[in-house]
Amino acid sequence: MSANERRHFSPEEKVAMLRRHFLEKVPISELCNQHGITPNHFYNWQKIFFENGTAAFAVNGRTSQKAEAVKDQKIAALQTKLQRKDEVIAELLEDHVQLKKSLGEA
């Protein structure tokens, strides 16, 4: 493989390599040589794998559903707050226009 040629591994291939290292105790250097990757790539995949591991233990997506519900509530509250702000600004502008008219500036 030339230096300019990039290899792309599917998520399944990456997990298979991680599995071989953790379960079969295949050294990282051997895996990297077999697949033509650097150890840094392997360690980055390992980091990503462990950071996202909680998704594997979410029971029927309850964790993500709860987070989604909290996010939806926050969005609804922010939309309500924004609507109220727009109403207040409209009232203030209306008062401002009336004041300008009464002072003869309009």
Please answer whether residues 50 and 57 qualify as being in contact, where contact means their C-beta atoms are separated by less than 8 angstroms. Answer: no
The residue among 22, 84, 31 whose CA lies nearest residue 49 is: 22
**What is the model's pLDDT at position 59?**
64
Contact 13, 45 (CB under 8 A): no
pLDDT at 1 over 70: no
Structure confidence at residue 63 as a pLDDT band (50, 70, 90): low
User: Residue 42: pLDDT above 90?
Assistant: yes
pLDDT at residue 56 greater than cutoff 80 = no
Residue 7 confidence class, pLDDT cut points 50, 70, 90: confident
Model-level pTM? 0.51
DSSP H helical ranges for the chain: 11-23, 28-35, 39-51, 62-103
Q: Please state, in angstroms and rounded to a whole number, the distance separating the CA atoms of residues 106 and 90.
A: 18
